[in-house]
Amino acid sequence: MNELEKKIKAKIPGEDTGIEIKRSLCAICSPGCHCGLDCYVKDGKLLKVEGTLEHPYNRGKLCTKGAATRNYIYREDRVRTPLKRVGPRGEGKFEPISWDEAYRIIAEKLGTVKEKYSPHSVAFFSGYCKWYRPILHRFCYTFGSVNFGTDDSTCFKSMDIANSLTIGAPGGPNIPNTNTFLGWNYGGYYSNHLSVGPVQALKERGGKVIIIDVRYSPAAKNFADIFLQIKPGTDGALALGMGKLIIDNGWADMDYIGKYTYGFDKYKELVQNYPLDKVCEITGLNPDDVFEATKLYATNGPACINFSASALTHRINGLQTHRAIICLGALTGNFDRPGGNVPSFASYIHKRGGFTTREMEFREEKRPFDQLRIGETRFPAWDEYCDEFQAMDLLRQIEEETPYPIKAIVGFGMNAKMFPETDKLVKAFDKLDFFVDADMFMTYTAKYADIVLPSCSSLERGEMKAYEGGYLAFTKPAIPPLYESKSDVDMLCELARVMDLDDDLIKAGYEVCCDWMIEGNGVTVADLKASDLPVKIQTAKPVVPGAYLEKGCRTPSGKIEFYSKAIAAYDPKYGLNPLPDYVDPLFDENDPETKEKYPFHMIAGIRIPNTIHSRVHEVPWLRSLRPDPLCEINQEDARNLGINDGDAVEVSSPYGTVRLKAMITAKLQPGVLAMAHGYTEANANVLVGRDHLDPYSGYPGFKSLRCSIRKY
Amino acid sequence: MKHVFTFDPDRCCACSSCMIACTDQNDIDLKAGEKCFRKTYDTEVAFKEGGIYCAYLSTACMHCEDAPCIAACPVGCISKDSDTGFTIYDNTNCIGCKSCAMACPFGAPRYNGADGKMVKCDGCYIRVKHGMKPACVRACSFGALDCIMEEEYRNSGSDKACNVLIDQANLRKKEALRRWR
Ligand code: SF4
Ligand code: SF4
Ligand code: SF4
Ligand code: SF4
């Protein structure tokens, strides 16, 4: 090999090698992330990726999934053309059709459902990767349907609602200025890789870290000064017990409580029911450890708490558990102070850039109000704080057709495996007159659709994206769209034209819509596109801790609410509690028969490095890291059941059964099982009952359910 | 500009981002049975007296100073890169005899599925010569894996060079792990 050949083989960018670095972003996981990507491109082909060092968000870093981008976008099951189903639903038999034909069929079918039933009988549903949501949401409203739904029905939003009820704002931990980080359910490494650096820095400057988790995770090993390995779903009891310790030991900040909070006396009364010995009985923790952890959090301030978007709220007591945890910040005066939990609001699609866009107005101006959304009136807190339908009621409404039928679904990246009793949901699709799904891949869900539209990846399109620190970006395609795929927003704008929707903005195209949404910030899409990196927005303001409390919280009382006035106002028929009391995470599965038959506590949906929801299980490089779906089981339990590492096991619940392999570990406590979700051949959510739901938010108890396990 | 790979087990989590990056950089064809040059471990070491140590490790060629693989190769495929000090190879003459793998204490050499010729981690020495970090290092979000100049390494007083790490990892950690188990 000569020098040039060596350079080409090593993929060194340069004129001589013909390899160019093009900037894009990774959109594999939640839009709360989306790391900047350096794409090594030659002749329109992607050769490799790296994180963009100059990117203000990820500073060169990528996680395992993002590192596999090349293998992800060149997956063999990419949808190449628009497709029309020719076999039974789910079989996966399709024939290619043209874009024009696809649009024509969609327009006709949606029009028919609208005429025969009503526009609300068409449900619009978005899964990952969310970037097109403002357009789809408005499209749905312009079409005339109240039914826009997303994976928010099972992810993030329950925590967000608990925040709104209690403090009226989101409140992330301000780790760079803290002394003590209470890493409640904090995993970091496998789910939010950029959160790890600040915790490492905290440890290096002598700060303290408490980790509370059901698993002895890498974060527990690498960071914990105190590790509380808690029984699954009992976190609410722990939080109330900690509240009592804080009050009893005089660690509460009474000035702060007097000035900024509401309902303290009632809360104080409530926590009397949670003395340390009782709390330790419920949680399985050692009283000394709980005392030390509480003392550390309450006295070594400023202290902040990890707010868990999924792990805690994926339990049917989850919303109240999160409320109970927020209350600790209120008790100790750690909410809205430097180094505590600091409120900041989203600028655009979950990203907090410190500036405002008209994302909300963009859809609100078209919103219809002439029908109840799917699930409306079932979960009062959801109804009040979220303008989407609660998808956990979708299956019931398709089946029962009450209060009105659902006859068509317009899905973008829809993931049926997100739904409890997935098998029943896909069966119910038979009752639909029409189902269109746009996706990059021929997914489990897409196989049930009548029409499948090929979406391109983030590398093949331009998209607008806000970033922390006051940044906004508009990416340019690093490579052209593969095959006949298109950007999701282009599909929507083109379809709006074919359907002649009454919406000049959407018909004018994505970039015009973006310009409309960012108006008032002193930049245009054209300005953003002129830069390869995110652009600093002049209107962006840094968060000033304390300012929010001084202005008054966005809660009914204007204060932090130990006692929620909003919950108190809900119809008593729901039986909801304005105080964040604890209930058993299995309260609906505790009858003696179920207990005996299904003795294990299953956590369905743990994070592992090489998967995220259902999105990358079929990426060969990532799959190679853990080729089989695994059920983790404690070594003593395994010994008692005669299960060896790697044995084929069958896991059952009253609702379904999955077969996978056993992984024996000491990281889990006896009596607990854990598995990752999203596998087609071992879909965790067939184990979850459709009514195993949090009565406040409608969130499924994915991470606390009863199961049995046996060798087969 | 001799370079040293360093590894800090207290920062690693076996996320295997480094493995994916190596696969991406070196076009490793997993489907054809090829193996990544780097390998990670997520293992639980049980102690006799009870409790476990969770070992998260990432290993590849150690680029041994006194590399036994070099002498073991009968046709002289393996050599030291004079700039970086990495153990590199030219497998044009490789006869697939696997002597290098037998000599290597870490099982670093691999063999192509197609022609049976030896391939291995070359420290991404071409990248390093062009001022870039090795692909695996670049992909580690947590600072567990690094590659620094020898001088910098000596001045840092660190003891985390990959080629001396193996014996230390387990022993040093015993105390920390006992606490919660
Ligand atoms: S998948 Fe990983 S690399 Fe991609 S955006 Fe999410 S965190 Fe970043
Ligand atoms: S990327 Fe870093 S943390 Fe992840 S396995 Fe490799 S060395 Fe460990
Ligand atoms: S191949 Fe093995 S013996 Fe040779 S330098 Fe690498 S680790 Fe050392
Ligand atoms: S240095 Fe290069 S070849 Fe060696 S393990 Fe890292 S990425 Fe692979």
B3-180: CATH, from 3.30.70.20, 3.90.226.10, 3.40.930.10, 3.30.1780.10: 3.30.70.20
Which residue's alpha carbon is nearest to atom 3 within ligand 4? B121
For range A60-72, the mean pLDDT: 98
Residue A409 has a pLDDT of: 98
Assigned CATH for A3-73: 3.30.200.210
pLDDT level of residue B164 (50, 70, 90 thresholds): low
Q: Looking at the domain A157-342, which fold is it?
A: Dimethylsulfoxide Reductase; domain 2 (3.40.228)
Query: Which ligand is closest to the CA of B37, given by its number?
Result: 4
Residue B170 has a pLDDT of: 44
Which residue's alpha carbon is nearest to atom 1 within ligand 2? B140
Residue B49 has a pLDDT of: 84
Residues A463-499: pLDDT tens digits?
Answer: 999 999 999 999 999 999 999 999 999 999 999 999 9
pLDDT, mean over chain A: 97
Please answer whether residues A433 and A407 qualify as being in contact, where contact means their C-beta atoms are separated by less than 8 angstroms. Answer: yes
pLDDT level of residue B156 (50, 70, 90 thresholds): confident
Lowest mean pLDDT, pick from A448-457, A525-534, B155-164: B155-164
For range A113-125, the mean pLDDT: 98
What residue spans define the domains of chain B?
3-180
Is A592-711 in CATH node 2.40.40.20? yes
Contact B13 A610 (CB under 8 A): no
Q: For chain A, positions 183-222, list CB contacts with chain B under 8 A.
A: 189-190, 193-194, 196-197, 200, 216, 218-222
What residues of A are in contact with residue B17 (Cβ under 8 Å)? 62-64, 67, 609
For range A118-134, the mean pLDDT: 96
Residues A374-403: pLDDT tens digits?
Answer: 999 999 999 999 999 999 999 999 999 999
Residues whose CB is less than 8 angstroms from the CB of residue A532 and which lie 6 or more positions away in sequence, other chains included: A23, A476
Residues B22-46: pLDDT tens digits?
Answer: 999 999 999 989 999 999 999 999 8
> Residue B103 to residues A89, A173, B36: CA-CA distances in angstroms?
57, 51, 20
Q: For chain A, positions 227-286, list CB contacts with chain B under 8 A.
A: 227, 229
Atom from ligand 1 closest to the CA of residue A64? 2
Which H helix or E strand runs over B121? none
Residue A585 has a pLDDT of: 98
Instruction: Flag whether pLDDT at A620 surpasses 80.
Output: yes
What residues of A are in contact with residue B19 (Cβ under 8 Å)? 625
Residues A649-670: pLDDT tens digits?
Answer: 999 999 999 999 999 999 999 9
Residue B163 has a pLDDT of: 62
DSSP per-residue string spanning A211-270 = EEESB--HHHHHH-SEEEEPPTT-HHHHHHHHHHHHHHTT-S-HHHHHHHEE-HHHHHHH
> Residue A525 to residues A4, A242, A464, A614: CA-CA distances in angstroms?
39, 49, 8, 32
Residue B174 has a pLDDT of: 36
Q: Look at residues A554, A465, A622 and name the one whose alpha carbon lies nearest to residue A68.
A: A622
Report the distance separating Cα A37 and Cα A49, nearest Å: 7
Q: Which tokens go with A506? A: 């959407």
Residue B162 has a pLDDT of: 75
Residues B54-83: pLDDT tens digits?
Answer: 999 999 999 999 999 999 999 999 999 999
Which residue's alpha carbon is nearest to atom 5 within ligand 3? B63
Q: Indicate whether residue B73 lines ligand 4 (CB < 6 A).
A: no
A9 lies within 8 A of chain B by CB: yes
Contacts A–B by Cβ distance under 8 A: 108
For range A62-79, the mean pLDDT: 98
The predicted complex's ipTM stands at 0.97
Which residue's alpha carbon is nearest to atom 6 within ligand 4? B136
Report the distance separating Cα A184 and Cα A162, nearest Å: 16
Instruction: Flag whether pLDDT at A459 surpasses 80.
Output: yes
Residue ranges, comma separated, of all CATH 3.40.228.10 domains in chain A are: 157-342
Among B8, B11, B24, B92, which would you mutate to test the A interface (most chain A Cβ atoms within 10 Å of its Cβ)?
A: B24
Q: Indicate whether residue B134 lines ligand 3 (CB < 6 A).
A: no
3-state secondary structure of A560: strand
Residue ranges, comma separated, of all CATH 2.40.40.20 domains in chain A are: 592-711
Instruction: Flag whether pLDDT at B165 surpasses 60.
Output: no
Could you list the beta-strand ranges (E) of A543-656. Answer: 560-561, 600-604, 630-634, 648-652
Residue B79 has a pLDDT of: 97
